[in-house]
Amino acid sequence: MAGPDVDANTSSRLDVPTAAPHITKDQALKDPSAQDKPKPVRTRPQKPNYFLIHSKPLPLETCPLPAFVPQNPLSLLRIAYIYLSQLISAPSSHRDVPITGIFSSETRSVHITDHASVRALWEMGFFGKGTMSRSEPSWPDREKARLKASKHGGGTAEENTRKRREERKLFKLERARAEAEQIEETLRKERAALESAKEEKDVEKATEIAISHVFPWMQQQDGDAEFKEETKAVPAEDTEPKETATNIVEVPVLPTGSTIHTTGIPTDTVVVANEEETPITNQEHLQLNLEESFFLSYALGSLRIIDSDTKQPLSTPSLLTLFRQHSHFPTAQTSALRSDDPFLLNYVVYHHYRSLGWVVRPGVKFSCDFLLYNRGPVFSHAEFALIIIPEYVEGSVEAAAGKGKMGWWWLHCVNRVQSQVKKSLVIVYVKVPKEIPNAAEGEVDIGKLLRGYEVREFVIRRWLANRSRD
């Protein structure tokens, strides 16, 4: 039996999407929907070009040779000319004015006070931290923004964060008050329903039994009436509750327009009387730890450290002895210095990874010794966290005493912390030599001293059953 007639042009083939027709420029101008919509106005300030600001990895000036272009033979002559000129008069890789720092025995660090030197050390290698900042020395910029906010409104990032926290606190108080009122109203309704049910329990029960025996056909109607009576027994909402439950926490009701000030945060701002910009004296210093200071002084030669007491520059051997003494607490005597001083162990690891091109930063925030950044803190988070463990020679007194050995409980705790912050834990073993030259005996060859240490590293990751099974 033949089926119904089917149009071969429509149902005998699948619908294949075709390309959209080309719209000319004149058609686009005539069609208002095809015109470009206005771009949204940028509300956030544009971020600085960090690749340009931090283009130099170290505070040194380099003079690279120009690139050789095979298609242009004259480029070879230019390379030869620049190379010969650098051989005759070699350009200096250091600044004309050396960076000067002052050693502070109270803070066990070196302070840089010159603003140009501070910016140079931070922008070229991310050395140190601001004494009045979390990391980058940005106190003058924050102070200017604060003074500007006092005149024109707005504020710095810290001030905006404080305002958001106050608003969030007010919202939580209001939400807690509403929840407490709702719970109190629910309890009041339940108590009223229980009291009314208790009073009418006996009467309703006797009536229900009598009706069920005498008039069975009225049981359903009485059931509906009972439901209606229970509904009417609940009183309407009162403006004030008669009694307060004992398990409800009373939340203070804030008056309209009131604000809450967080304890410990200053609420007063400096008001500038005149409209001109008030000059700000930079009160922030760059604080370098002992490893950063010695690396800049010994390895790079770009930092000169002055003693705060004598006001005289410190030589490299005396600087090494001074830093080794202050790496102990309390400060150790020269005769008590050993080959496993904390400064020597930390500096060997710091120098090792800085030489490999990593940006090394202190890791006390994440319960480790150092953090390794690929290019710097402004580009990405730290990928690795370092834990330094000394490794003593077999047969030494320290090895026999079990010094430098850590338990599995400690390792699991440290690894758990690094896993939570998404960092790979690296255990760095530093092989300690038996003896090193004493600085009191004369000039010490620091290069020979550092070559006596060996560094071994192991990356530890958490073992997960669902990722490690076959």
**Domains 53-137+284-314 and 315-470 are alike in CATH topology:** no
Nearest to 270 by CA among 359, 368, 142, 435: 142
pLDDT 10s per residue in the chain (470 long)? Answer: 444 444 444 444 444 445 445 555 555 555 555 556 666 666 667 778 889 999 999 998 888 888 888 888 888 888 898 889 888 888 888 887 889 999 999 999 999 999 999 999 999 999 999 999 988 998 888 888 777 776 665 555 666 777 889 999 999 999 999 999 999 999 998 888 888 877 777 666 666 665 555 455 555 554 454 444 544 444 444 444 444 444 444 444 444 444 444 334 343 344 444 445 567 888 899 999 999 999 999 999 999 999 988 889 999 999 999 999 999 989 998 888 888 999 999 999 999 999 999 999 999 999 899 999 999 999 999 999 999 999 988 777 777 677 777 888 888 888 889 988 999 999 999 999 887 766 554 578 899 899 999 999 999 887 667 766 65
Per-residue confidence (pLDDT) for residue 202, from 0 to 100: 64
pLDDT at 282: 84
Strands, E assignment, 290-383: 303-307, 359-362, 370-373
User: Six-digit token pair at 173?
Assistant: 């108080």
pLDDT reported for residue 439: 52
Contact between residue 54 and residue 378 where contact means Cβ atoms under 8 Å apart: yes
Tokens of 425: 């834990």
The gap between the terminal CA atoms of the chain, to the nearest Å, is 61
Q: Distance of CA 377 to CAs 45, 140, 367, 383, 459, Å?
A: 20, 20, 18, 11, 21
Residue 314 has what pLDDT? 92
DSSP 296: I
How far lies 233's CA from each of 205, 208, 227, in Å? Answer: 17, 18, 10
Q: Would you state the torsion angle of the CA atoms of residues 102, 104, 105, 109, taken in this order, to the nearest 10 degrees?
A: -100
| pLDDT of amino acid 274 | 46
pLDDT at residue 275 in the model: 45
The reported pLDDT for the residue numbered 438 is 63
Tell me if the domain spanning 53-137+284-314 has CATH number 3.40.1170.20.
Answer: yes
The DSSP H or E segment spanning 207 is helix 201-214
Domain ranges of the chain: 53-137+284-314, 138-283, 315-470
What predicted TM-score, i.e. pTM, was given to this entire model? 0.65
**What's the distance, CA 302 to chain centroid?**
30
Calpha distance 369→352 (Å, rounded):
14
How many angstroms separate the CA atoms of 458 and 11, rounded? 68
Q: Which active-site residues does the annotation give?
A: 373, 381, 423
Distance CA(406)–CA(402), nearest Å, equals 9
The CATH number fitting domain 315-470, selected from 2.102.10.10, 3.40.50.720, 3.60.15.10, 3.40.1350.10: 3.40.1350.10
- Full strand arrangement of the beta sheet holding 129-130: 129-130, 286-288, 109-112, 99-104, 303-307
pLDDT at 266: 41
Task: Report pLDDT for 170.
Answer: 93
CA distances in angstroms from 171 to 159, 163, 259, listed in the order given? 18, 12, 11
CA trace torsion 282, 119, 132, 50 (10° rounding): 130
For residue 327, give the amino acid letter. Answer: S
The pLDDT of residue 404 is 75
Q: Which residues on adjacent β-strands are paired with residue 111?
A: 102, 287
Neighbours of 458 (CB within 10 A): 11
